[in-house]
């Protein structure tokens, strides 16, 4: 014997359809809520990305400024070193010129005097011309 489903009335069919549609509506509402949550999270991530990019640009700008300062300091240091070397050279030349002038003056006063030992940096110790003690 075969089971035959009784015929549903229009009202029963309508009620079944409403239950089915209500279930579909709940599923859609749930999907919509999930979609909204995902949209909110996506927007939060986009905002964070914009913030991080702005931070990166700021850090890049600061890095370039610091590099420029370092280059300027390095350039100043090179100029300072060149100036220092120039001053040392001028001082050495001045000492040499003074030594030469003094030797010439001594030779005018005493032509037979041996001026080969005379140097600006020599010292007289116990009546002898000697090199100064070396500094550590």
pLDDT in tens, 17-64: 888 899 889 988 888 888 888 888 899 999 999 999 999 999 999 999
Domain count of the fold of the chain: 1
The domain in which residue 65 lies consists of: 10-110+117-124
Q: What CA–CA distance (Å, rounded) separates 43 from 26? A: 25
Q: What are phi and psi of 129, to 5 degrees?
A: -85, 120
Residue 36 lies in a domain: yes
- pLDDT at residue 123, rounded to an integer: 82
Q: What CA–CA distance (Å, rounded) separates 131 from 136? A: 15
- pLDDT at position 91 over 80: yes
Residue 23 lies in a domain: yes
Q: What is the largest CA-CA distance in the chain?
A: 155
Going from the C-alpha of 75 to that of each of 9, 57, 63, 83, the distances in angstroms are 97, 27, 18, 12
Number of C-beta neighbours around residue 22 at 10 A: 10
Contacts 24+ apart (CB under 8 A), 42-51: none
Residue 2 lies in a domain: no
Tokens of 48: 């964070």
Q: What CA–CA distance (Å, rounded) separates 121 from 118? A: 9
- pLDDT at position 135 over 70: no
pTM, 2 dp: 0.41
């Amino acid at each position: 014997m075969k089971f035959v489903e009784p015929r549903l009335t229009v009202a029963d069919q309508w009620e079944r359809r409403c239950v089915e549609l209500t279930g579909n509506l709940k599923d859609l509402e749930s999907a919509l809520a999930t979609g909204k949550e995902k949209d909110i999270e996506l927007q939060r991530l986009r905002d964070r990305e914009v913030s991080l990019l702005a931070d990166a640009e700021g850090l890049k700008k600061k890095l370039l400024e610091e590099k420029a300062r370092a280059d300027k300091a390095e350039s100043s240091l090179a100029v300072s070193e060149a100036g220092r070397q120039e001053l040392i050279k001028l001082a050495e030349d001045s000492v040499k010129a003074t030594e030469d002038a003094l030797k010439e003056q001594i030779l005018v006063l005493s032509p037979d005097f041996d001026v080969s030992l005379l140097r600006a940096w020599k010292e007289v110790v116990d009546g002898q011309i000697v090199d100064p003690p070396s500094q550590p």
